[in-house]
Structure 1
Amino acid sequence: MGKKVKKESETPCKETFEALPVESKTPATTVLLLSSPEEDIVIKACEAIHIFAEKGDENKVSLLELGALGPLCQLIAHNNKLVRRNAFMALGIMAINGDVKKALKKMDVIPQLIDKLSLEEDTVVHEFATLCLASLSVDFVCKVQIFDNNGLPPLIELLSSQDPDVKKNSLESIFNLVQVREVAKYIFDYQCRLAFHELGGIPPLLELLNSDFPDLSDLHAEALRVLANCLRDSERVQLIHKDGGLKRLIDFLLTSNVSEIQTGAVQCITRVAQSYENRKLLHELNLEKTLIELMSVSEIGVKTATCQAVAAMSLHLASKDCFRDLGGIPAVVQGLSSESPKLREATTQALSNLTYNNHHNALAVYKAGGHEILIQLLRGSCSRTVANASATLGNMARQEVVRCRILSHGAIHALVEPLNSTDKWVLVNTTQCLAALVCDTEARAELLRAGGLHPLVNLLQSHDKDVLNNACLTINVCASDEATAVEMCKFGALELLQEINQSVNRRSSLSQLAMMSLLDFNLSVKYSLTGHLAFSDIINDGFYDAGKFPTGQRILTLEELSRQPVNQHRPIIVVNTASEYEANIAASGLKIWAKITYTKHKIDLSSELLMLLFSFKVTPNSDGNTQKGVNHYLPVPGHKTNTSAFVTCFVSMYLGVRLVSEVMGGAVKMEKLHEFPWVLHLSELKFQLHSNIIPIGSIRRGFYCHRALLFKCLADCMGMSSTLVRGEYNRAWNEILVFSGNPSSHGHSSQPCRFIIDLMHQPGSLLGATTPAAVQYQTI
């Protein structure tokens, strides 16, 4: 048997195996195919995922849950261009979904996305890479990553791409980078805007406004949004202006035929006009003329944005006059009649700024009939419109002619409802408007009839300083009439103002002024609260002394006090009519006082009166000088003073002192003061009258407080100057001013000296205000 020979192996086949076409019926299978080593399969799997993801968010989330993101993020860096292209398409569509974006943030995909933005890369890759960046850049962390990985330069380069989708996505990414969203992140946003400008981003941005693509509404809008953010900083605006950028933007306002784009462009200009420096630049570029032309556009959105721009530019003094000189104010006024609430609000804001401290513009609004519509807008409009309308009317009311016309159209009644608003600026502007309107008696009476005083007083409870100050200002004006002052006091204005003025944080010069104005027309309350009536405070019938009231407690009216049962407290002293004074004067036997009091003119100065005058005693001054006769205080010879009137004044004062003393029980020695039966006398009067209220003319045993009050009444009746000051323990006194001069000198100066009149112990004596005798008279 021979040896076996080994068989030669068959020649291997040189033909390769044909790739099998793969069709997947489920997303899970398709996701698995993303890891295939076969490029054709991967290409088709990416394409299938792209198509599947486009159909809705549920599909995107489903792919996320199946783990598609990981392979796709790897495939966007594949060497095969077609693989990269389809992977980017799938990833870009998925990245729109919020859940997918959250997952991408954790995968550090941003450097790979930016790497594929080079100009050598496929346009489709650019489109979907920028789409991913646009979605991710909404998040601040991703925003920082894009900036730190030098994402801005390629995004700026892609603004010049031939593909509008690439431009749009790049613009959106840039917008998110330069947008200001939070104060805490402002510094980073500023760095982005600065870098965008330094990298030459503005010129291609402006070029996009002149693009010739047929469908550019979104592209133009995005360009304007980015530009608006870049124009936040005055430094950037100045640089853009030097390059002619502002002029091109203003020209674009009128060249665009798409209302949405015009609106965005005007809003961009409004953003620029937020600073003084920028408004000056825009004024030099004649922006006012362009805005007036835009007011003729019928589209509401454009008109609204234009009015907002007018409002911003009207903060520039020269622009205010420019709008008027170019005839723009009637065009703005027309917006008040629009059915659009937003346009009405923007119009009232523009008119408010135009008329602020500019009476010519206020008159122009009036001539255009704006005041009538503004009054109508005070009713039933949104808070901002009411606030702006009232501010405008307040500005206009500073012109007397305009103010009268505003009042004739029922402005006071229309302003009452806004006084009940909870909006700060409605209250601030409404009270300012009222303060300008109620500067005459009739207007104040109308506010009283309209029921506006109660809500006005309620504003004193506000803890907002602007509202409170304006309420005090208006109350001060309204207090110019006794009727309105008394009515406000009924609503608790004085008590509220007392509380305010005791607060370190809430009080102001306006709150103090408001309180004093109310007290000036309610001297009874003023005397009870402050214990002092000045020379200018004239007591009239109806005045009552209810004693010293604690701060913050409401002082009852005389009517309210009259309804109280007789009690053991001190009586309320009330001032009666002049006829009762005459009866008292006649009873005293000093008929000459009645003659002086009620004749008032052509007084006969008899020798008897002159003797009385020169017997007027003056106590020594604190420096120990001897007594000086009243003749020292007579006018110096050669002066133009009316000597007759001067002497008459002193005669009247002296006789008034004598009258008060005689009527109130005569002189009482200091050591016998405790025996003077004034308390018993007043108690008997209360019993006789069955009332706690005693007319001052009924008192025959008067103490310091009663005599001082009576003298103040008589002095006010005669036109003589006198104060009334309350002390402790029923003490009260009167101060007068006597002008003295040196008889041996022909100088023209006259110095007033303050004296306290003794009505109790040595009636007729004048006590130097700072002397020990005066102090003794004022205290126990």
Structure 2
Amino acid sequence: MESKDGKSTSVDEKQKPDTTKLDKSKLSDLKEKSYVTRQVETSVTLLDSPENDIVLEALLFISKYADINNNNLIYLIKSGIVSKLLNSFTKNICILRISLRLLSVVLSTDDGLYEIDQDKYDDKILEISNMYIGHKDGFVKEYCVEILAKVASSCRVTTIIFNTDLFNPMFDNIKSAKNVNSLYHNMLLFYKLIDAPAALSALAEYSKFDTNIIIAHMNHKEKKVGNFALETIEKLTKYGLPFLQESFKKFGIMEKMFKILMDEQKEYQHSTVINIIHNCLNSEETSTYFVESIEFLELCQWVKNCHPRYLLPLSELFIKITNTPDLQQMLFDLSVEESILYFFRLKHKDVINQTCRAVSNMTAHKYCCEHMLTPVVAETLVEVLERQNDEEDPYNQIAWKTVFHFIRRSVNGLTLFMEKKIKPVLLDFFLNKAHLVTEETYLMIIEIIFRCLVHPQYQEEFIHKELLQEVLKLFKESENTVVTTFCCEIMTSINHLNAFRTFFLQNGPLIIINKLKNLKDVNLITEILYFIFSCLIYEDIAMAFLHQGLLQVLKTFDEYISYNIPILKKVNNLAINYYLPLKFYKTGKLEITDKLPNKFYVINGIWCDTFPFIEILEMMKVTPYPTIYLVDYSYEVRKGVTLEAESQETLKSTTSLLSKSTDSNLNSTTLSRISLTQSPSVFDIKYGKISTDIFLPRYIYHLKKYDVFLQGPMEDRIRLLAEYVDTLLCGPKDDLSLPQKIHEYQLHIQCLKEKLGNNIIPIGFLRMGFHCERALLFKALADKICIPCSLVKGSLKIYWNEVALFKEVDGEERLQIYVIDLMYEIGNLMLVGTKQANKYCNLN
């Protein structure tokens, strides 16, 4: 109650205390005792009396009053009881005991703690500390430790009493105290003192400090003490100081925690024990030392049947030990992985996630990986991957990581997961969710896709347009070199499939070439070149790469890239050799082993644009500026040696002429008569487009018909073919001077262009020609009658052919290269490198 003057009182002052009767049936009467406010105030005032008896009597009265309820304590605090009690320490032992006890009671309230936490009482707090350290009376020491334990809640006060060196006596008391209350408050004081900034670092300097002092009280018969000992250990392990953890390790802290955890009768301590285990797992000194202990092996068996509520906290334990590579063999020997798999029995997302982490760690051990991957485990993981709306792990990244490790490390991993229907889950995730996860998980998903696509059993099963689109998109847009490399490897592994090549031809070559431009990463360039190299065996893809400017891009790489990527040169050579018109345009030479394709052409002039492919030339609406000579075998390929009706008469006359001559007497005059053919019909001309060469197949047919061109010494065959070419291209007049011949040649070419409506002239249409025309026609005919020869372009429009012949030199037969004279001494063979050959080739 509150009086008019604002003072608190238990009963009304007007009420007579001797007339009040105690009604034991009323709870309020049992809790309260009638005190007159004036009597309480008087007693508080009497505490300043010099008479010890009066002070003692006042203290006893106040103590009884204080024990009734908290309201009385608050009233006493407001009455200034704290300062008066602190001033009573100099009186006799009885007063000291009661004063300390009463002060301890007062400090049980927040108001009391607030009151004493002032600078003016610092000396008194130090006095209490000194009494705790040095007083001989047991009751005094007990009350002092209670007071210190309570005031230590204040950081300021803790710093003050910490400086009085309380630790050593406190350790002695904790170790030897018989009184439970005293033991408890000593432990409480220690618990609070270690919050002081310098307390933990100072502990190592105290000789009497030993963690075993605390550990020894864990099994105290009083639950209050045992529980608090565990709480103190929990706090110490949370700091994780090496010297503390080493001490705990010495006394087997983890083993002791395991035993308590497996004891059902100590369930009330399990929560604290689990916290201690987690704290110790975070310290290097105590995280794994216990693996070989009996207690840990018992725990591994216990978890197989323990209550599910323990699985989640204990999963951290198994994650920690399995993440230590040096322990994996030992854990496998102890069959710890079997205990880990038992965690899957609880269909709780957090437990499964934690279990997946431990399983992932153990899969690093090959034999353990094979042992752990069972159909049940695979099915469980697939079920986890199908899980939706997981707040902690919405995209099941932990489970994906486990699946990834199984697939990477187990021989049968991919097969087993495919049997458990992981394909639709994997494809859906890759196509729709992969961009939402971390980079680590993203790379794992891509590698799983890669392993599926390179596996012969699942390649065609995984190939479909959406997947290929995503792979090509990633290759194009990703700035991550690892992702791009994986995509490139995927495409390399499946380029032999028709489905992939059909899809890739749409815009794949352009994407590859654009990616290759300006790249500096040697490894990525190498992977891309390997992919291109593997594609060049397919005509459609090879031509697509050439059309997109592959050779121009390869040419832009500097010497450093070329030196460090040997395959770059191989890709360049393979690409050039694949399309001989381009090879001749780039290098100016066709080797003896290069046989002309069905359509081969030579640009006889300066071409300033990118190289024109035949498909482009056929689609051009305007004629190219320089003259292009075309070797077109397509007529022969399409209709064989069957000739048109209009050429039959010519064939008969030619046959008659050849039959009148013997092979040995076949000369240029005869060849000239053989070569005279009719002019092409207007029906053979595709005006403005590329016309079909109806003459070249006839020449080939004529040559193949007579053994003189197919048999005999190679030199004679070469000479004879040279004379045949000279006869075809010498023109109708042999007696003209060189300028006149050039003029006639130019008129001839111009007439052909006007008649064809195109600058692309089939080589068979020519009736005049010099170095270029003769060398090209010689090569075109020689390839069809098995005369190996090259085609070489020199300077100043000089072209020539080279052949390889075996000649006897210094008594030995050697292979030598000769240049064929098609201009002056027709059929003459000049050894390469000689003055005569160099003059003919204009190499001087």
Under TM normalisation by the shorter chain, which class is it?
0.5 to 0.7
What residue in structure 1 maps to residue 817 of structure 2?
Answer: 755
Change (3 A) 1:489 1:304: farther
Change (3 A) 1:608 1:456: closer
What residue in structure 1 maps to residue 417 of structure 2?
Answer: 365
Change (3 A) 1:690 1:200: same
What residue in structure 1 maps to residue 348 of structure 2?
Answer: 299
Q: Is the 8 A contact 1:457 1:491 kept in 2?
A: yes
The amino acid that maps onto 2:239 is S
Q: Distance in 2 between matches of 1:89 and 1:724?
A: 100
Q: CA RMSD in A?
A: 6.2
Q: What are the residue-to-residue correspondences of 1:400-479 with 2, within 5 Å? A: 400-407=456-463, 411-419=467-475, 420-449=477-506, 451-460=507-516, 463=520, 467-479=524-536
The amino acid that maps onto 1:84 is L
For residues 89-123 of structure 1, the C-alpha deviation after alignment (integer angstroms, 9 at most, x for no partner) is 3339x99xxxxxxxx9xx99899898799585466
Q: Distance in 2 between matches of 1:405 and 1:231?
A: 51
What residue in structure 2 maps to residue 204 of structure 1?
Answer: 253
Q: Is the 8 A contact 1:737 1:755 kept in 2?
A: yes
Q: Distance in 1 between matches of 2:816 and 2:634?
A: 29
Say which SS state the counterpart of residue 755 (structure 1) adopts.
strand
Mean CA deviation greater in 378-387 or 724-733: 724-733
What residue in structure 2 maps to residue 264 of structure 1?
Answer: 316
The amino acid that maps onto 2:312 is E
Change (3 A) 1:608 1:357: same
Question: Given the alignment, which residue of 447, 451, 457 partners 1:395?
Answer: 451
Q: Distance in 2 between matches of 1:489 and 1:215?
A: 76
Q: What are the residue-to-residue correspondences of 1:215-234 with 2, within 5 Å? A: 216=270, 219-220=273-274, 223-224=277-278, 226-227=280-281, 230=284
Q: Is the 8 A contact 2:775 2:799 kept in 1?
A: yes
The amino acid that maps onto 2:597 is N
Q: Distance in 2 between matches of 1:351 and 1:752?
A: 65
Deviation of 1:309 after TM superposition, in Å, equals: 3.8
Q: Is the 8 A contact 2:599 2:632 kept in 1?
A: yes
Change (3 A) 1:510 1:115: farther
What residue in structure 2 maps to residue 285 of structure 1?
Answer: 334
What residue in structure 2 maps to residue 214 of structure 1?
Answer: 268
Deviation of 1:529 after TM superposition, in Å, equals: 4.7
Q: Distance in 1 between matches of 2:123 and 2:568?
A: 70
Q: Distance in 1 between matches of 2:594 and 2:167?
A: 83
Q: Distance in 1 between matches of 2:796 and 2:120?
A: 95
Q: What are the residue-to-residue correspondences of 1:74-473 with 2, within 5 Å? A: 79=133, 80-91=144-155, 118=171, 120-121=173-174, 161=218, 162=226, 163=228, 164-174=230-240, 177=241, 192=242, 196=245, 200=249, 203-212=252-261, 213-214=267-268, 216=270, 219-220=273-274, 223-224=277-278, 226-227=280-281, 230=284, 241-243=291-293, 251=301, 254=304, 257=308, 258-272=310-324, 275=325, 277-324=326-373, 328-339=377-388, 340=390, 344-356=396-408, 360-383=412-435, 384-407=440-463, 411-419=467-475, 420-449=477-506, 451-460=507-516, 463=520, 467-473=524-530
Change (3 A) 1:655 1:424: same
Change (3 A) 1:464 1:13: same
Deviation of 1:289 after TM superposition, in Å, equals: 4.0
Q: Distance in 2 between matches of 1:67 and 1:767?
A: 121
Say which SS state the counterpart of residue 400 (structure 1) adopts.
coil
Say which SS state the counterpart of residue 457 (structure 2) adopts.
helix
Q: Distance in 2 between matches of 1:691 and 1:135?
A: 99
Change (3 A) 1:115 1:280: same
Larger radius of gyration: 2
Q: TM-score, normalised by structure 2?
A: 0.60
Change (3 A) 1:130 1:708: farther
Say which SS state the counterpart of residue 211 (structure 1) adopts.
helix
Say which SS state the counterpart of residue 347 (structure 2) adopts.
coil
Deviation of 1:686 after TM superposition, in Å, equals: 9.8
Deviation of 1:269 after TM superposition, in Å, equals: 4.0
Q: Distance in 1 between matches of 2:193 and 2:52?
A: 46
Mean CA deviation greater in 31-40 or 426-435: 31-40
For residues 192-248 of structure 1, the C-alpha deviation after alignment (integer angstroms, 9 at most, x for no partner) is 59x95697369423442443343645752662464366399xxx96x6555568756
Mean CA deviation greater in 382-391 or 39-48: 39-48
5+ long unaligned stretches in structure 2? 1-48, 67-72, 90-98, 134-143, 175-182, 219-225, 262-266, 652-670, 677-694, 732-736
Q: What are the residue-to-residue correspondences of 1:576-587 with 2, within 5 Å? A: 576-579=632-635
Q: Distance in 2 between matches of 1:425 and 1:695?
A: 51
Q: Distance in 1 between matches of 2:810 and 2:458?
A: 57
Q: Is the 8 A contact 1:387 1:426 kept in 2?
A: yes
Change (3 A) 1:133 1:282: same
Q: Is the 8 A contact 2:801 2:819 kept in 1?
A: yes
Q: Is the 8 A contact 1:295 1:306 kept in 2?
A: yes
Q: Distance in 1 between matches of 2:120 and 2:797?
A: 96
Q: Is the 8 A contact 1:431 1:471 kept in 2?
A: yes
Deviation of 1:430 after TM superposition, in Å, equals: 3.0
Q: Distance in 2 between matches of 1:756 and 1:76?
A: 115
Q: What are the residue-to-residue correspondences of 1:4-23 with 2, within 5 Å? A: 13=51
Give yes or no for the alignment of 1:483 onto 2:540: yes
Deviation of 1:733 after TM superposition, in Å, equals: 6.1
What residue in structure 1 maps to residue 707 of structure 2?
Answer: 606
Q: Distance in 2 between matches of 1:14 and 1:169?
A: 45
Q: Distance in 1 between matches of 2:538 and 2:696?
A: 33
Q: Is the 8 A contact 2:590 2:792 kept in 1?
A: yes
Deviation of 1:379 after TM superposition, in Å, equals: 0.7
Mean CA deviation greater in 283-292 or 75-84: 75-84
What residue in structure 2 maps to residue 633 of structure 1?
Answer: none
Q: Distance in 2 between matches of 1:387 and 1:535?
A: 49
For residues 455-484 of structure 1, the C-alpha deviation after alignment (integer angstroms, 9 at most, x for no partner) is 444443555555444444334334442333
Change (3 A) 1:514 1:116: farther
The amino acid that maps onto 1:304 is N
Q: Distance in 1 between matches of 2:199 and 2:589?
A: 70
Deviation of 1:698 after TM superposition, in Å, equals: 5.3
Q: Is the 8 A contact 1:357 1:395 kept in 2?
A: no
Q: Is the 8 A contact 2:463 2:499 kept in 1?
A: no
For residues 552-609 of structure 1, the C-alpha deviation after alignment (integer angstroms, 9 at most, x for no partner) is x9656556677597787x5555553433899999998479996896799xx7883675
Q: Distance in 2 between matches of 1:661 and 1:150?
A: 113
Query: What's the % identity of the aligned pairs?
Result: 13
How many correspondences in the alignment? Answer: 668
Mean CA deviation greater in 495-504 or 32-41: 32-41
The amino acid that maps onto 1:758 is I
Change (3 A) 1:242 1:205: closer
Q: Distance in 2 between matches of 1:536 and 1:110?
A: 98
Q: Distance in 2 between matches of 1:663 and 1:67?
A: 128
The amino acid that maps onto 1:173 is Y
